[in-house]
A = this chain, B = another copy of it.
């Protein structure tokens, strides 16, 4: 459960996307470039340590690109890579699945789809 490299692509993908933060960060980054502090403001419940760790994980996975500008009060930009952008609609589809499923349970006939755009 440590360095087991599975050959299963789904397992590999879930290794990166599992947890609360990865998909949320994808969600906030799909609008464009964000700075570290902006991402913290977007989501105040994540600690800075975890945010840094998660961003690094996404960077290692090739989903997010980190751009550090050397300068005075320090400044780092994050944005999605091409693979990262390709991931966005898939994650949106998962959200739509959830909405659809809840809809089946609570409502019934009248669809009240709120498919994330």
Interface residues of A (CB under 8 A from B): 1, 8-15, 17-20, 23-24, 27, 45, 62, 82-83, 86-87, 90-102, 104-105, 114, 116
Please state if A1 and B94 are interface contacts (CB–CB under 8 Å). no
**A87, B95: Cα distance in complex, Å:** 11
Q: Closest residue of chain B to A114, judged by CB?
A: B9
Given A83-B104, A90-B93, A93-B90, the answer on whether A18 and B14 have CB atoms closer than 8 Å is: yes
Task: Beyond A9-B98, A14-B20, A90-B90, list 20 extra A-B contacts (CB 8 Å).
Answer: A1-B45, A9-B94, A9-B95, A9-B96, A9-B99, A10-B24, A10-B95, A12-B98, A13-B95, A13-B97, A14-B19, A14-B23, A62-B101, A82-B104, A83-B101, A83-B104, A86-B97, A86-B100, A86-B101, A87-B97
